[in-house]
Amino acid sequence: MEYAVLQINEKQYIVEKDKEYKVDKLHSMEGEILTFDSVLLYVNGETVEIGKPFANLSINATVVKHARSPKVVGMVYKAKGHRRSYGHRQDYTVLKVTDFTHTT
């Protein structure tokens, strides 16, 4: 089993080849190929490579789409009948990991 721990925008994701992942919105076009060098850990069967701080590996991923999560509605109740509601929809990007490449 081959997987890696990847850091994108201060968040860490465990990624495998040919799978799709939701990450916080990235400013890139759909279909664009991105290269990430901030790999913290790489595991390939019995081989484990730990980064200090990053491993000698880069990960290529394709931007599949940009989307928004379902709306979350919150309410604030205060004295004397005062109410306020608010909503939030998080923007995210779907990435498909295509390749792990060793660097020197």
Taking only the tens place, the pLDDT of each residue in 55-67 is 999 999 999 999 9
The percentage of the chain sitting over the pLDDT mark of 70, rounded to a whole number, equals 100
Give how far Cα 34 sits from Cα of 4, 30, 61, Å: 16, 11, 5
Number of separate domains in the chain? 1
What's the pTM? 0.84
Give 79's DSSP letter.
Answer: G
Q: Which two tokens stand for residue 18?
A: 């040919």
Range of the domain at 6: 2-102
Distance CA 84, CA 75 (A): 6
Taking only the tens place, the pLDDT of each residue in 65-87 is 999 999 999 999 999 999 999 99
Per-residue pLDDT for 104 more than 80?
Answer: no
